[in-house]
A = this chain, B = another copy of it.
Amino acid sequence: MRRTQLFVKTRRETPGDEPSLNAQLLIKAGYVHKELAGVYSYLPMGKAVIDNISKVIREEMDSIGGNEVLMSTLQNKELWQASGRWDDRVVDSWFKTKLTNGTELGIGFSHEEPLTNALKHFINSYKDLPVYPYQIQTKFRNELRAKSGLMRGREFLMKDLYSYSRSAAEHEAFYEKVSEAYLKIYNRLGLGAITYKTFASGGVFSEFSHEFQTLSHVGEDTVFVDEDKKFAVNKEVYNDETLVKLGLDKSKLVEQKAVEVGNIFSLGSKYSDALGLYFVDEEGEKQSIIMGCYGIGVSRIMGLLAEHFADKDGLVWPQNIAPFEVYLAKLGLDPSVIGEADTVYNRLTERGISVVYDDRDIRAGEMFADADLMGMPYRIVVSQKTLGTGNLELKKRGEQAAQSVSLDNLVEIILNARKY
């Protein structure tokens, strides 16, 4: 896409009303617009990042048997009364609204109740189970303060998967499968090496639950990491008793800042029982259904990728998440330069490489500052200097030195770097 067609502009000044670094960067680079504290709209490049992250998650959910659905945002009060979660003293982050006739409605923050209720039409026998519906959907939480940008929004995009199993053993097996799928997702998002399955408090259904924590200087959580065993313990359950139970050696644990990038919960039969969803087993006996729920915050991951990888010049996206792989900078108005840049743009696009083509008539310094701020992995320059050399100037984001490469070589470099 041509830069002039992409209606956003970058800003040099940091927005004064935004305390969070990830949102500051994303606003300056033209990816998001702040509507309210914790509420952001996604501009074209922001929408592309959301789509790229969602694609990775969707593929891994489908590969473990997930079935994609799209649940409603407006929530029927009765279903949440049945589970005891309607009351604001139980769930203090509800947004609520009303029909014109005064009927109260919830604005969904999660979907255990409505999904379990819907499944009553489809699940009767053991033959109907297990099922694994998931969605990538906008969620709403009425946070008292919202100062972490996209990392903790009042309105945010989330992938939520739910499992309905016939037994604890069947549940555990799927829970492990999701855990493995999550690690694949973090790998594909460029976070594999620094993301740890983490023991956290379990609630009423199991002694511990699991989170996935990405070690990062931008983190608000504290975890204790066992590097050898490749897992961590959240500070909230870090005590001698827990360590003994988990068989961990205190002397090997290292305290780190981290960001929660996913969580998986065993829910037992709390919601299925409360909503009246049961199954009849092989012997004709009515049985409870064991549920799990598995979340990944899509917009939170966007915020984390933005903030964690950023340097002093701006954003630095992983290649498969960047809205464009290449930032093509054309310097000057010489018709030969324009012709050459057009050719490069067409050739890269033909090879399936996504390119933002800066065809504006501005100074090189301004263009390069934009390219760095926006964070595409490859910056290519076509200028008077490169004309006639048969080569282009390539600079990878995050590296200082530019190199001279042929167009064929460039295509090879970009395609080979696509790991996933």
Q: Flag if A69 contacts B44 (CB, 8 Å).
A: yes
Stretch of A31-39, A180-188, A203-211, A369-377 at the chain-chain interface:
A31-39
Q: Is A72 an interface residue (CB 8 A)?
A: yes
A30 → B minimal CB distance (Å): 8
- Of residues 23 through 80 on chain A, the ones whose CB sits less than 8 Å from some CB of chain B are 30, 33, 35-36, 39-44, 46-47, 50, 65, 67-76
A122 touches B39 (CB 8 A): no
Interchain CB contact under 8 A, B107 and A107: yes
| A41 and B100 contacting across the interface, CB-CB below 8 Å | no
Q: Does A105 contact B (CB under 8 A)?
A: yes
Q: Which residue of A5, A72, A133 has the most chain B CB atoms within 10 A of its CB atom?
A: A72
* Main DSSP-derived SS at the A contact region: mixed
Q: Which residues of B contact A140 (CB under 8 A)?
A: 73-74
Once the chains are docked, how many angstroms separate the CA of A68 from the CA of B155? 19
Judging by beta carbons under 8 Å apart, are B41 and A72 in contact?
yes
Is A95 among interface residues, defined by CB-CB distance under 8 A? yes
Quick one: which of B35, B74, B128 contacts A114, CB cutoff 8 A?
B35
B8, B39, B97, B98: the one within 8 Å of A72 (CB): B39
CA A69 to CA B5, docked complex, whole Å: 14
| Interface membership of A131, Cβ < 8 A | yes
Inter-subunit contact B72/A105 (CB<8 Å): no
Within 8 Å of chain B (Cβ to Cβ): is A415? Answer: no
Q: A155 touching B72 by the CB < 8 A rule? A: yes
> Is A9 interfacial (CB 8 A cutoff)?
yes
**Most chain B beta-carbon neighbours within 10 Å: one of A6, A121, A155:** A121
| Residue A96 is within 8 A (CB to CB) of chain B in the complex | yes
A8 contacts across to B, CB distance below 8 A: 122
How far in angstroms is the closest Cβ of chain B from A166? 14
Contact with A155, one of B33, B39, B73, B133 (Cβ below 8 angstroms): B73
B residues within 8 A CB of A159? none
Instruction: Tell whether, in the assembled complex, residue A155 and residue B74 are in contact, meaning their CB atoms are under 8 Å apart.
Output: yes
Q: Is the CB of B95 within 8 A of A97?
A: yes
Q: What's the minimum C-beta distance from A18 to chain B, rounded to whole angstroms?
A: 13
A177 contacts chain B at the CB level, 8 A cutoff: no
Cα A105 to Cα B379 in complex, Å, equals 42
How far is the CB of A142 from the nearest CB of chain B, in Å? 5
Contact indicator A7/B122 (Cβ below 8 Å): yes
Assess whether A118 is interfacial by the CB under 8 Å rule: yes
Chain B proximity of A362: nearest CB distance (Å)? 11
**A7 to B164 CA separation, bound complex (whole angstroms):** 11
CB–CB B122/A36 < 8 A: no
Indicate if the CB atoms of B122 and A9 lie closer than 8 Å: yes
A197 lies within 8 A of chain B by Cβ: no
Give Cα A5–Cα B68 distance, bound, in whole angstroms: 12
Given A7-B122, A97-B107, 16 other A-B contacts at CB below 8 A? Answer: A6-B67, A7-B67, A7-B128, A11-B121, A33-B121, A35-B114, A36-B74, A36-B76, A41-B70, A41-B114, A42-B70, A46-B69, A73-B140, A74-B95, A95-B105, A97-B97
22 contacts between A and B (CB under 8 A): A5-B65, A7-B128, A7-B131, A7-B133, A9-B122, A36-B74, A36-B105, A39-B72, A39-B74, A40-B72, A41-B70, A41-B71, A44-B69, A46-B69, A46-B70, A47-B68, A73-B140, A73-B155, A74-B140, A95-B97, A100-B142, A101-B144
9 closest A-B pairs by beta carbon, nearest first, are: A33-B118, A7-B131, A42-B70, A41-B71, A95-B97, A35-B72, A44-B67, A97-B97, A39-B74
